[in-house]
Structure 1
């Protein structure tokens, strides 16, 4: 088993994947670990929705409708969710709480999505986080069956990893993004 640091350093987005995908039991098992993210007041302000098969096509139709597109442009946008056999919608489920503002609840939900992507990658699956301008559009929310206090954060596109070199990333990324106040 890789360390958390090793998993983070070796993770790469997989823009192309095969038709293989983890089953629901495997996803639930990984979510048991991902659910351990920071969660002020233990609100569990998230849920994950698996989209497979025809649900991906319905999402594509919802995206095209949200964009107001028709014809070839609509078809191109509608085909995007078909790029992976499994899409995991990461949803923030917020509640009014005196100590935990909504932004913090959304951050916790995003943390679950990120840790889940690391765990999927470590398990050998190809994963890519995707969002877009229609992620929070009402048509897209209805397609997912979201409630009044639920907001879609994006999708993890998941499939079989295509063998590829996992080259080194620039090790100096953090140097320009870190400061220390004394």
Structure 2
């Protein structure tokens, strides 16, 4: 499948089956996703695998942030969550926003690669992604920010839903004169 085909058929899978790729299956995909454009090759990102009990601990942290009595069940929607972390590096040439864009690019490219490998993926965020409790759970440093999680699992025997094609005409413009 070409990159164009992969991008055209990309869908978010809000519901996935319990199967998930192993760490060994993930490693070559992460290596490929790390080829995203990266000014000065800073690698201002890292990924954290959450499986099993880790997802329960995340649900507890989310509930503390929200003031809920019961742990959130949201992290249990997939057997594998991959936390996407922007790890800002000191640089006079590359501002923080650009480093965050690199981390986002890695997450998106990884989601395409996972989809091509047959896995269902959705990138989930929430107001709690930047909370101190959730950052502490993930062991984030002072110069890191959580951008959300890729929820990964098997694709169910149904369509993820329809997604309309983007009309590129109004989105690709010329420089104003």
Q: What is the number of residues matched between the two proteins?
A: 176
Report deviation, 1:172.
Answer: 3.9
Report deviation, 1:67.
Answer: 1.3
Residue 96 (structure 2) pairs with residue 105 (structure 1):
no
Report deviation, 1:40.
Answer: 0.4
Map Cα deviations across residues 57-112 of structure 1 (whole Å, 9 max, x no partner): 00010011111222xxx44xx10000000000000000220000011000000000
Unpaired runs of 5+ in structure 1? none
User: Corresponding residue for 1:131?
Assistant: 125
Map Cα deviations across residues 127-159 of structure 1 (whole Å, 9 max, x no partner): 000000100100000011111111100100000
| Structure 1 runs of 4+ with >4 Å offset | none
User: Corresponding residue for 1:27?
Assistant: 26
Contact 1:51 1:87 in 2 (8 A): yes
Tell me the C-alpha RMSD between the 2 structures: 1.4
Report deviation, 1:168.
Answer: 6.2
Q: TM-score scaled by structure 2?
A: 0.94
d(CA) in 2 for partners of 1:166 and 1:82? Answer: 19
- Secondary structure at 1:26 match in 2: helix
Q: TM-score scaled by structure 1?
A: 0.92
Unpaired runs of 5+ in structure 2? none
Report deviation, 1:167.
Answer: 6.7
Report deviation, 1:166.
Answer: 6.4
Contact 1:10 1:166 in 2 (8 A): no
Contact 1:34 1:112 in 2 (8 A): yes
d(CA) in 2 for partners of 1:158 and 1:59? Answer: 16
